[in-house]
Amino acid sequence: MGRDLALIIPEIAVLLTAVGALIAEMLRQPRISLIIAVIGLVVGTGLTLRLLGTDTTVFGGSFRIDTLSIWAKLILLPATVLSMLLARVDVRGSAREGTVYSLLIFSTLGALVLAGAGDSMFLVLGTLLTGLATFALVAYPDTDPATEAAMKFFVFASVTTAIMIFGLSYWFGASGSTLIADLPAMDTMPLAVILGFVTVVVGLGYKASLVPFHFWAPDAYEGAPLSIAAYLSVVPKIGALFALTQVVRHLPPETGWAAVMAGLAVLSMTYGYLAALVQDNVIRLLAYSSIAQSGYFLLGILAVGSSELALPSIILFAVAYAAMNLGAFAVAAIAGRTLNDFSGLGRSRPLIAIAMVVFLLSLVGIPPLAGFVGKFLLFAAAIDVQFTWLAVVAIINSALSLAVYLRIVVPMYRGGDSASVELDAWLGFVVFATVAATFIIGLGAQFMIVRDIV
Amino acid sequence: MSAVLLPILPPLIAALAVLILRRGSAALALAGATLSLAGGVRLLAGALDGQAETLLLPGLPDMPLRLVSGPMTALLSVAVATVGTFVLVYAIGYMKRESGQARFYAVMSLFLAAMQALVLAGDWVLLLAAWELIGLCSYLLIGFWFQRPEAANAASRAFLYTRSADLGLYVAIFILIGSSGTSEIAASLEVGGSASTAAGLLLLLAAMGKSAQVPLQDWLMRAMAGPTPVSALLHSATLVAAGAILLIRSATLLSPEALFAIGLVGGITTVAAGVIALAERDLKRLLAASTASQYGLMLIAVGAGVPTAALLHLLAHAAIKSTLFLAAGDFQHAREGTAFDQLKGVGRARPWAFAGFALAALALAGIPPLSGFFSKDAVIAAALSGQGAAWLGPLALAGTLLTGAYMGRALRVLWQGSGDSRPVEGTGWMRAGIWGLAIPAAGLGLAFGPLETILDLPAPETAGTVAIVLGLVAALVGLALGWLVPVQRLLGPAHQWAESGLEVAGGLTAWIGRPAMAVARGCDRLEDHLYAAALAIGHTALSIARGGERLEQRLYLAVLGVGRANLAVGRWVRSGDERGIDGLIFALVAGVRDLGARARTLQSGLIHHSLAISAVATAVLLAILFSASLSV
């Protein structure tokens, strides 16, 4: 028991931070709440570093301390800090400022539980924990669009989670165990395995906004405060995708799950970019783009268990994705929500505009930026397991994505009038941190792979 | 530190230093380029002694990044650095009045570093990164005056044209790495069979984009909206050269089918772009079209299986074309533009620049003993002796003829007319840049003999008398035509009686001039059509996307329709039961309907419909997996 607790110290630190932030809010001290939150998450990240290289389970195999769950902490905790700095601009001075910080941390805890899930009940727990916190966050501004978006989000989440719980009951019934590692014991009952797997895809697919479970995402991103949209597109999504990885590594290959992943990948990438092509609202455009990027993750996930490259590719792309997507949302927070707001940004705020170009080129996957390394490894992983056609589809989609992102870049440098834009120092910091990460990951990925860190 | 890094690091450091310090940018950039030149020369000296240097850097797993210095890469590195240095010298004068100096010199230095990395790259990943970087830098440089709509437009167009062709490079590299298992360029070229043909054709596609071969040549002419030093650098040894360099370096990979395609593309381009150049009415656009035409000649040499000839012509062309552009920039400052109407007689006012221009123009036409004579002879000899001589030979000769013609025309415009000029600032720097490049443009030919012996490629056939004579005749006839034809056009119908006294020349106009113009106009129209077709493809993709959205709306309407039908049924049932059912139930129904109406205002979106789609998708997934597992 002592050993188990020692291994989940980062999670405990995150939980205590959330509670601490809530207490500070109760005492009407939102600034202290923010300080506690930032310090707690940074400490949590630091506590995780010493676990690097560990590969074990705690509490009877129900929670895993492995590469995926450790990297989930290293990615999601800093991402949450950056999201909180973004959120600060939206909620500063409002009545429930500290509540937002606290809810963000609770939701992140849910994503961490998902990423380390070794037991199907942890999948449910993580989904509910992130879900409940994020419904409230989306509804936070108390405007009609926000309430409507939160309502849709809630209905959608309730139905899909119910379906997942229903399917998981078959797994439990067939194997007599809720441990994911016990799945191979059910190979005499392939239909039960398949039913459970499809419902897990539904339950986690909604959270990762995979087509066709994505419908809530554009509305929720548009209705929610911008910082919450940025958070939703990164933290719960990566948690769900890592959880999916934890599940599929125990599925017997003859169920054909890899083909399902490939199909969903094609749907998500293509539909996401095609839909993004006709958006005039930058937030909706980024929402559809993040749907498409989820599809790229699946290239790595379907190679899990058969290719050495699968885990490094998923993790590296997750790091890259978190940096460039948060950065793009931060720039949108500075410039505005419509494409018109971006016109002339290249002149009024040249550095911010260059940062945006970096994020967008990285999202396309152009060397030497982070997105390129991530995508390159994902393609290599897919080719490694004989899914060359899928890699080709993904490359063609990358070409399509250039058209999507150029729709933001072109007005920045061509637009007529350039109203000067206010720049909050914290937003500037977030942009700077994410640009730096985009470059460092792009250039340092080789180092991380060679040293076997990921 | 390995010597291979010497040509790359100084410009890179210079770019960073310019960005950080934001002063003394010209001096910093020039220092970077000069050090890069010194590094290149050192590499070349090492290569002459037979030392091939390789530097491995940590890269992707099992695919280290590598830099290779052999005779060919070192030679190209020297060429890139030489042109870069003198263009920067020239730019000090040319850019004197411009704002945004730091941005200009930083991007120029970065561009130089990226090009050196591309030339020295020994593996596909590094080459790809450098390839993308020069694309990005060229976008920034062509769009340097981004306040002008035509410059911003031209930059986007150049980026999109070359980007779309770059897709070929990505797929080619995937094929090569996939089938050979290594990312090292030299080793991966050993794959034979269908992979080599496919990769060769895809590399050709990438090269066509960068080297502006038909039908992707349009961006090059429009890229003239950028500053002239940028044009000089882009057109001679860097951006446009990257395409030809790619093909020359992968010459050992190319299968007969790929060689045929390369020769065909090169041949068509050299003639079509030559005709376009002849029809241009602007000096910089003429030079741009001529660049495409000359790269067509290089592709002919590669297609004939003699890449060495292509390399020699690439080197000669680098010096010549940069001289021409720099001189054109000098004229541009003297007359505020480069249209022929503005430039008449400017050569008399700017004798030093004109002398450099004339020297380079004669070299490009192929007049001995200037460098173009030797390199063009090598190309013609290759075209006449290699495979497909029957059609490559005539195309190469036609290209040479056209080269003479448009150069003759340009020289005439510059020389005839009144020689007045505005005062030009920074003439000294500009003159130094022009002559620093004009001298190699004239004398480089003498070095070709030794160069051929050190290159580790199959040596070209020594040019036979036939090739020399044919090439020289074509060049001289072209020059004479170019000098004479515009005279007839200027005289026009008013002076027809005078024409009758010059029957032969008049005949030439009728037989060659007018059809050439008609063909040129046709080419121009074809280009517009191609552009329209590209636009149409884009529109189609957009309308498909819109169609998807409309379909979604229709589905939603259909779902709504079902709902309405249900309501109607409900109303009908109610009207039947109205008398029999008491007020309590009636009130309940009304209450429920009221609630429903409230819910509807809350959910103006598509939630029922989207959940239905998700449920159907779940059922489809289940059905597929179940049927698959049952059939096993």
ipTM metric: 0.78
Residue A420 to residues A90, A350, A357: CA-CA distances in angstroms? 20, 11, 19
In percent, the amount of chain B with pLDDT more than 70 equals: 79
pLDDT digits (tens, 9 = 90+) for B424-458: 777 888 888 888 888 888 888 888 877 777 775 55
For residues B302 and B443, state if they share a domain.
yes
Rounded to the nearest 10°, the torsion over CA B36, B41, B43, B46 is -160
Q: Rounded to a whole number, what is the distance in Å from the CA of A451 to chain B's nearest CA?
A: 10
Give the best-scoring range by mean pLDDT among B89-103, B209-223, B306-320, B568-582: B306-320
Question: Of A175, A75, A63, nearest to A119 (Cα)?
Answer: A63
For residues B597 and B460, state if they share a domain.
no
- Of B426, B460, B491, the residue at which a domain comes to its end is B491
Reported as a pLDDT band with limits 50, 70 and 90, residue B72 is confident
For residues B468 and B443, state if they share a domain.
yes
Least confident of A148-152, B90-94, B565-569: B565-569
Residue A376: list chain B partners with CB under 8 A.
Answer: 60
Task: State the first-to-last Cα distance of chain A, in angstroms, to the nearest integer.
Answer: 28
- The C-alpha atoms of residue A91 and residue A99 are separated, in whole angstroms, by 10
Q: Of residues B586 and B387, which shows the higher confidence score? A: B387
Q: Which residue of B has its CA nearest to A267?
A: B617
Q: Domain tally for chain B? A: 3
Kindly state the tokens that stand for B509. 């106009």
CB B87 within 8 A of CB B322: yes
- The C-alpha atoms of residue B487 and residue B490 are separated, in whole angstroms, by 5
Asked whether residue B303 is domain-assigned, the answer is yes
Residue B61: list chain A partners with CB under 8 A.
Answer: 309, 449-450
For residues B551 and B477, state if they share a domain.
no
Asked whether residue B498 is domain-assigned, the answer is no
For residues B602 and B627, state if they share a domain.
yes
Q: What is the predicted pLDDT for the residue at B493?
A: 41
Cβ of B170 within 8 Å of Cβ of A202? The answer is no
Assess A351–B contact: CB distance below 8 Å, yes or no: no
Assess A256–B contact: CB distance below 8 Å, yes or no: yes
For residues B333 and B422, state if they share a domain.
yes
- The C-alpha atoms of residue A444 and residue A438 are separated, in whole angstroms, by 10
For residues B324 and B398, state if they share a domain.
yes
Asked whether residue B231 is domain-assigned, the answer is no
Question: Of B265, B364, B543, nearest to A274 (Cα)?
Answer: B543
Cβ of A198 within 8 Å of Cβ of B625? The answer is yes
For residues B478 and B429, state if they share a domain.
yes
Reported as a pLDDT band with limits 50, 70 and 90, residue B563 is low
pLDDT of B421 over the 60 cut: yes
pLDDT of B352 over the 80 cut: yes
Asked whether residue B82 is domain-assigned, the answer is no
* DSSP structural state of residue A124: H
What's the mean pLDDT when you consider all of chain B? Answer: 79
Asked whether residue B181 is domain-assigned, the answer is no
Q: What is the predicted pLDDT for the residue at B567?
A: 61
Interface of B with A in 438-497 (CB under 8 A): none
Q: Phi then psi for A379, rounded to 5 degrees? A: -60, -45
Provide, for chain A, the percentages of residues in helix, strand and coil under a 3-state DSSP scheme, each rounded to the nearest 5. Answer: 80, 0, 20
Reported as a pLDDT band with limits 50, 70 and 90, residue B509 is very low
H or E, element range at B53: strand B53-60
Q: Of residues A336 and B574, which shows the higher confidence score? A: A336
For residues B394 and B451, state if they share a domain.
yes
Asked whether residue B397 is domain-assigned, the answer is yes
Q: Which residue of B has its CA nearest to A263?
A: B621
Reported as a pLDDT band with limits 50, 70 and 90, residue B158 is confident
Angle at CA B208, nearest 5°, toward B207 and B213? 140
pLDDT of B507 over the 50 cut: no
Picking from A144, A385, A401, A413 by the largest number of B CB atoms within 10 A of its own CB, the best residue to mutate is A413
pLDDT of B364 over the 60 cut: yes
CB A333 within 8 A of CB A427: yes
- What residues form DSSP beta bridges with B56? B66
Assess B22–A contact: CB distance below 8 Å, yes or no: no
Question: Of B101, B167, B103, nearest to B135 (Cα)?
Answer: B167
Interface of B with A in 584-603 (CB under 8 A): 602-603
Q: Which residue of A has its CA nearest to B163?
A: A399
Q: What is the predicted pLDDT for the residue at A43?
A: 95
Cβ of A278 within 8 Å of Cβ of B549? The answer is yes
Q: Of residues B530 and A148, which shows the higher confidence score? A: A148
Cβ of B170 within 8 Å of Cβ of A275? The answer is no
The domain of B378 spans 262-491
- Of B461, B491, B521, the residue at which a domain comes to its end is B491
For residues B422 and B459, state if they share a domain.
yes
What pLDDT tens digit does each residue of chain A (454 aa) get?
Answer: 788 888 999 999 999 999 999 999 888 888 999 999 999 999 999 999 988 888 999 988 899 999 999 999 999 999 999 999 999 988 888 888 899 999 999 999 999 999 999 999 999 999 999 999 999 999 988 888 898 889 889 988 999 999 999 999 988 888 888 899 888 888 778 888 888 999 999 999 999 999 888 888 988 998 898 999 999 999 999 999 999 999 999 888 888 889 999 999 999 998 898 888 888 899 999 999 999 999 999 999 999 988 888 999 999 999 999 999 999 999 999 888 888 888 888 888 888 888 999 999 999 988 788 998 899 899 999 988 989 899 989 988 888 888 888 888 888 887 666 566 678 888 889 999 999 999 998 888 877 776 666 6
For residues B458 and B532, state if they share a domain.
no
Residue A399: list chain B partners with CB under 8 A.
Answer: 164, 167
Asked whether residue B249 is domain-assigned, the answer is no
- The C-alpha atoms of residue B149 and residue B130 are separated, in whole angstroms, by 28
pLDDT of B140 over the 70 cut: yes
Asked whether residue B592 is domain-assigned, the answer is yes
- The residues, any chain, with a CB within 8 Å of residue B456's CB and separated by 6 or more, are B70, B71, B72
CB B604 within 8 A of CB A148: yes
Q: Residue with structure tokens 């990423």?
A: A115
- Among partner residues A148, A194, A402, which is closest to B625 by beta-carbon distance? A194
pLDDT of B604 over the 60 cut: no
Interface of A with B in 142-201 (CB under 8 A): 147-148, 151-152, 155-156, 159-160, 163, 190-191, 194-195, 197-199, 201
Q: What is the predicted pLDDT for the residue at B495?
A: 35
Least confident of B219-223, B260-264, B571-575, B580-584: B580-584
Q: Which residue of A has its CA nearest to B616?
A: A212
Picking from A197, A213, A270 by the largest number of B CB atoms within 10 A of its own CB, the best residue to mutate is A213
Least confident of A272-281, B23-32, B402-411, B557-566: B557-566
| B535-548: average pLDDT | 67
For residues B447 and B479, state if they share a domain.
yes
Cβ of B61 within 8 Å of Cβ of A449? The answer is yes
Q: Of residues B489 and A19, which shows the higher confidence score? A: A19
Residue A416: list chain B partners with CB under 8 A.
Answer: none
Kindly state the tokens that stand for B565. 């039908």
Q: Residue with structure tokens 């958006």?
A: A279
Kindly state the tokens that stand for B390. 């029957």
What's the one-letter identity of residue B215?
P
